[in-house]
């Protein structure tokens, strides 16, 4: 069929099953927007800043498991999108980003709105393409989707010059893509898997450390089978929240810098770590040289480059988590090796759980933890998606919201992009219209993207925006309190921050301010029931801190705070000899 490049692009997207594009128009993408104008199959969501097209596509992908698509113009449109792409890159999220480009014959001349976006995004894409021949457009789209969603997922960018969009082509969509240099490994090596099975059942203090890779490979059932079969406690990363139910008796919840004390103690004390779909990020390992000194490490990852990148693995298994876990469970079920007695290990963990539960001070003020806990209680059995800003709000959400299902917690982990929460909620809600989507955000984070309230309003998205408003760049303030002698440099947001209720109303969205702890539950309950866009401005205790906390550079069992009943000067666990030198800096504020 004869058509223009722009039409061929849209047809190709249809062939890939794309249902929605997050985008923003401009000069060189006019032919594409024209092709979209009377398209019936693909919905276009107009964001109000290109960065948010990236984040929305990213969260759409995380919420649905499909590839997210965004479309922007050349030059400033493309450079605005860079943060969105970098975010998807760091968290391995499959998105296809389409950027317009100036006409091929003026590329390289500093033409109007020209930016070398393939050059700029080389380090933050799995691959990118500059299409110079319209006949290669369909196969390029085919390849881009294949690369984005297979193997270790990630963003792929297609840069499309305007003359290519206008050129004519006989459209035929290829059946499959041939990419000679690309062959991900899915099946794990059986010899390694057999060895892993043996080590797992024999270990006395095993732990499973599971992450984003479980969600990417949809391996949550297999993970649960393994844990239950061998009775191994499971800790998840921030990215792995939802890969294993937080409320499961074997769950240790999140580990790492702001993880639970019991997760961090358990991994440090373990004799075997089964790491799956994780990348040993520094927020998790703390000081590398002291990490899990007694443990044998089995590392399952689809990306060979992740294995032994930060911490050497004793038993590497390259493969897809789902396939490897299936084989592993089958191998263990053969029952060749007798299981060790893990009673003492479970008792030890139970005692840590009892001694060091996640908790906060309850004194009548609205503690941010309380808000998250209430959200958690009220949404227990619903289809919920929580998105977050970055900072304290994000960590409280991770600690006090129990993700019991996959794809129910969406947060910016690797890049830590303030402003992710609201566009992520938009992408998630559009991908899963029936889910209750709650953006738990910070007053600083949301100000980076508050223009997206327009997108919420325009699309009547029933998102609940819950701002934990402390009037500070809270996480930075916390570090200044703990490590910079309370010298609060440039973190006070009280002056200049808009009245969020009025701001919401200016966009035609309902806004409510909550200043009384007695109203928290009531207002949230109504918001969940109403199914209408709402912004709730929770005025929380200003100088609340996130605990436990591993000081930067410390070993992960050297945590500040998180001991119930301990006074602030006793924030360090008296049982641990190795106390961080930061301890004396902790002042009596906060709680």
Ligand X SMILES: Cc1cc2nc3c(=O)[nH]c(=O)nc-3n(C[C@H](O)[C@H](O)[C@H](O)COP(=O)(O)OP(=O)(O)OC[C@H]3O[C@@H](n4cnc5c(N)ncnc54)[C@H](O)[C@@H]3O)c2cc1C
Residue ranges binding ligand TPP (CB under 6 A):
389-393, 416-418, 442-445, 468, 470, 472-476
Task: Tell me the C-alpha distance between 418 and 408, whole Å.
Answer: 19
CB 254 within 8 A of CB 263: yes
Task: Tell me the C-alpha distance between 200 and 177, whole Å.
Answer: 39
Q: Is 289 in the site for other proteins (CB under 8 A)?
A: no
User: Nearer to ligand X by C-beta: 242 or 462?
Assistant: 242
User: Shortest gap between Cβ of 252 and ligand X (angstroms)?
Assistant: 12
User: Nearer to ligand X by C-beta: 306 or 331?
Assistant: 306
521 binds, among other proteins, ligand X, ligand TPP, none (CB under 5 to 8 A by kind): none
Q: Is 142 in the site for other proteins (CB under 8 A)?
A: no
Q: What is residue 384's three-state secondary structure? A: strand
User: Nearer to ligand TPP by C-beta: 303 or 492?
Assistant: 492
What residue spans of 173-257 are helical by DSSP H? 190-202, 212-216, 220-230
CB 485 within 8 A of CB 585: yes
User: Shortest gap between Cβ of 492 and ligand TPP (angstroms)?
Assistant: 11
476 binds, among ligand TPP, other proteins, ligand X, none (CB under 5 to 8 A by kind): ligand TPP
CB 300 within 8 A of CB 321: yes
Q: Is 441 in the site for ligand X (CB under 6 A)?
A: no
User: Nearer to ligand TPP by C-beta: 441 or 582?
Assistant: 441
CB 367 within 8 A of CB 25: no
392 binds, among ligand TPP, ligand X, other proteins, none (CB under 5 to 8 A by kind): ligand TPP
CB 587 within 8 A of CB 481: yes
**Beta strand extents in 429-519 (DSSP E only):** 436-442, 464-469, 510-514
Task: Tell me the C-alpha distance between 204 and 232, whole Å.
Answer: 10
What's the first-to-final CA gap in the chain, in angstroms?
68
Q: Is 126 in the site for other proteins (CB under 8 A)?
A: yes
Out of 78, 86, 292, 302, the only residue in the binding site for ligand X (CB under 6 A) is 302
Out of 27, 304, 416, 552, the only residue in the binding site for other proteins (CB under 8 A) is 304
x/- map, 78-117, other proteins, by CB under 8 A: ----------------------------------------
Q: What value does the CA radius of gyration of the chain take, rounded to a whole number of Å?
A: 25
Lookup result for tokens 């079920």: 333
Q: Is 261 in the site for ligand X (CB under 6 A)?
A: no
Report which of 358, 323, 388, 369 is spatially closest to residue 185, judged by C-alpha positions.
323
Contacts 24+ apart (CB under 8 A), 564-568: 564/355, 564/356, 564/357, 564/359
Q: Is 414 in the site for ligand X (CB under 6 A)?
A: yes
- What tokens does 522 get? 């009531």
User: Shortest gap between Cβ of 276 and ligand X (angstroms)?
Assistant: 7
Q: Is 258 in the site for ligand X (CB under 6 A)?
A: yes
CB 566 within 8 A of CB 579: no
Q: Is 238 in the site for ligand X (CB under 6 A)?
A: yes
Residue 472 β-bridge partners: 492
- What tokens does 112 get? 């109007």
- What tokens does 194 get? 């057999």
Q: Is 288 in the site for other proteins (CB under 8 A)?
A: no
Task: Tell me the C-alpha distance between 427 and 564, whole Å.
Answer: 38
Q: What is residue 360's three-state secondary structure? A: coil
- What tokens does 319 get? 């493969």
Question: What are the residues whose beta carbons fall under 8 Å from the beta carbon of 39, sequence distance 6 or more?
Answer: 10
Task: Tell me the C-alpha distance between 566 and 222, whole Å.
Answer: 40
309 binds, among ligand TPP, other proteins, ligand X, none (CB under 5 to 8 A by kind): other proteins
User: Shortest gap between Cβ of 143 and ligand X (angstroms)?
Assistant: 19
User: Shortest gap between Cβ of 130 and other proteins (angstroms)?
Assistant: 8
Judge residue 39's burial from the number of C-beta atoms within 10 Å of its C-beta, 0-12 exposed, 13-18 middle, 19 or more buried. Answer: middle
DSSP assignment letter at 189:
P
x/- map, 192-211, ligand X, by CB under 6 A: -------------------x
Out of 49, 62, 127, 216, the only residue in the binding site for ligand X (CB under 6 A) is 216
119 binds, among other proteins, ligand X, ligand TPP, none (CB under 5 to 8 A by kind): other proteins
User: Nearer to other proteins by C-beta: 119 or 293?
Assistant: 119
Virtual torsion, Cα 298, 399, 556, 300, nearest 10 deg: 10
224 binds, among ligand TPP, other proteins, ligand X, none (CB under 5 to 8 A by kind): none
CB 255 within 8 A of CB 279: no
Stretch of 50-58, 155-163, 238-246, 486-494 lying at the interface with ligand X (CB under 6 A): 238-246
Q: Is 305 in the site for other proteins (CB under 8 A)?
A: yes
Out of 25, 77, 100, 277, the only residue in the binding site for ligand X (CB under 6 A) is 277
213 binds, among ligand TPP, ligand X, other proteins, none (CB under 5 to 8 A by kind): ligand X
User: Shortest gap between Cβ of 303 and other proteins (angstroms)?
Assistant: 7
Q: What is residue 224's three-state secondary structure? A: helix
User: Shortest gap between Cβ of 589 and other proteins (angstroms)?
Assistant: 40
Task: Tell me the C-alpha distance between 572 and 559, whole Å.
Answer: 6
Out of 154, 155, 259, 442, the only residue in the binding site for ligand X (CB under 6 A) is 259
Q: Is 119 in the site for other proteins (CB under 8 A)?
A: yes
User: Shortest gap between Cβ of 471 and ligand X (angstroms)?
Assistant: 19
Task: Tell me the C-alpha distance between 460 and 387, whole Å.
Answer: 18
Q: Is 320 in the site for ligand X (CB under 6 A)?
A: yes
User: Shortest gap between Cβ of 467 and ligand TPP (angstroms)?
Assistant: 9
Where does this chain bind other proteins (CB under 8 A)?
118-119, 122-123, 126-127, 130, 147, 179-182, 303-305, 308-309
Q: Under the rule (CB under 6 A), what is the footprint of ligand X?
A: 91-92, 152, 211-213, 216-217, 237-240, 254-259, 277-279, 281, 283-284, 301-303, 306, 320-321, 390, 394-395, 413-414, 416
């Amino acid at each position: 069929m004869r058509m223009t490049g722009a039409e061929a692009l849209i047809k190709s997207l249809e062939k890939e099953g794309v249902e929605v594009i997050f985008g923003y128009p401009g000069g060189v993408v006019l032919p594409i927007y024209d092709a979209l104008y009377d398209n019936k199959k693909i919905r276009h969501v107009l964001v109000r800043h290109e960065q948010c097209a990236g984040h929305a596509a990213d969260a759409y992908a995380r919420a649905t498991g499909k590839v997210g698509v965004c479309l922007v113009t050349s030059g400033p449109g493309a450079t605005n999108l860079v943060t969105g792409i970098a975010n998807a890159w760091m968290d391995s999220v499959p998105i296809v980003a389409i950027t317009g480009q100036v006409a091929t014959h003026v590329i390289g001349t500093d033409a109007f709105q020209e930016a070398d976006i393939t050059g700029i995004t080389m380090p933050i894409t799995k691959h990118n393409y500059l299409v110079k021949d319209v006949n290669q457009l369909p196969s390029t789209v085919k390849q881009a989707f294949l690369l984005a969603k297979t193997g270790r997922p990630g963003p792929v960018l297609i840069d499309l010059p305007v003359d290519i969009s206008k050129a004519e082509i006989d459209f035929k969509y290829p059946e499959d893509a041939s990419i000679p240099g690309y062959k991900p490994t899915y099946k794990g090596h059986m010899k390694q898997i057999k060895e892993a099975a043996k080590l797992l059942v024999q270990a006395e203090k095993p732990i499973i450390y599971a992450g984003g890779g479980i969600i990417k490979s949809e391996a949550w059932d297999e993970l649960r089978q393994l844990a239950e079969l061998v009775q191994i406690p499971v800790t998840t990363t921030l990215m792995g929240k939802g890969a294993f139910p937080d409320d499961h008796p074997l769950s240790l919840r999140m580990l790492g810098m702001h993880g639970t004390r019991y997760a961090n103690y358990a991994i440090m004390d373990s004799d075997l770590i089964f790491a799956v779909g994780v990348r040993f990020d520094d927020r998790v390992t703390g000081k590398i040289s002291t990490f899990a000194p007694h443990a044998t490490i089995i590392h399952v990852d689809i990306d060979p480059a992740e294995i032994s990148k930060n911490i050497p693995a004793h038993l590497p298994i390259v493969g897809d988590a789902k396939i490897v876990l299936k084989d592993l469970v089958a191998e263990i079920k053969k029952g060749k090796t007798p299981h060790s007695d893990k009673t003492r290990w479970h008792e030890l963990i139970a005692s840590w759980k009892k001694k060091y539960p996640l908790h906060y001070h309850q004194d009548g003020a609205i503690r941010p933890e309380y808000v998250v806990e209430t959200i958690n209680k009220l949404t227990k059995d619903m289809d919920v998606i929580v998105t977050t800003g970055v900072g304290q709000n994000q960590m409280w959400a991770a600690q006090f919201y129990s993700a019991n299902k996959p794809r129910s917690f969406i947060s910016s982990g690797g890049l830590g992009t303030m402003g992710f929460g609201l566009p992520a909620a938009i992408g998630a809600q559009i991908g899963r219209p029936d889910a209750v989507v709650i953006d738990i955000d910070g007053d600083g984070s949301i100000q980076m993207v508050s223009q997206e309230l327009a997108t919420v309003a325009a699309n009547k998205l029933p998102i609940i925006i819950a701002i934990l408003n402390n009037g500070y760049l809270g996480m930075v303030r916390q570090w200044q309190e703990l490590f910079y002698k309370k010298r609060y440099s440039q973190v006070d947001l009280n002056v200049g921050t808009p009245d969020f209720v009025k701001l919401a109303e200016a966009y035609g969205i309902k806004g409510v301010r909550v200043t009384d702890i007695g109203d928290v539950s009531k207002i949230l309950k109504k918001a969940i029931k109403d199914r209408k866009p709402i912004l709730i401005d929770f005025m929380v205790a200003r100088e609340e801190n996130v605990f436990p906390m591993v000081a930067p550079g410390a070993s992960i069992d050297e945590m500040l705070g998180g001991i119930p009943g301990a006074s602030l000067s006793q924030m360090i666990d008296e049982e641990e000899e190795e106390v961080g030198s930061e301890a004396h800096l902790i002042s009596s504020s906060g709680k």
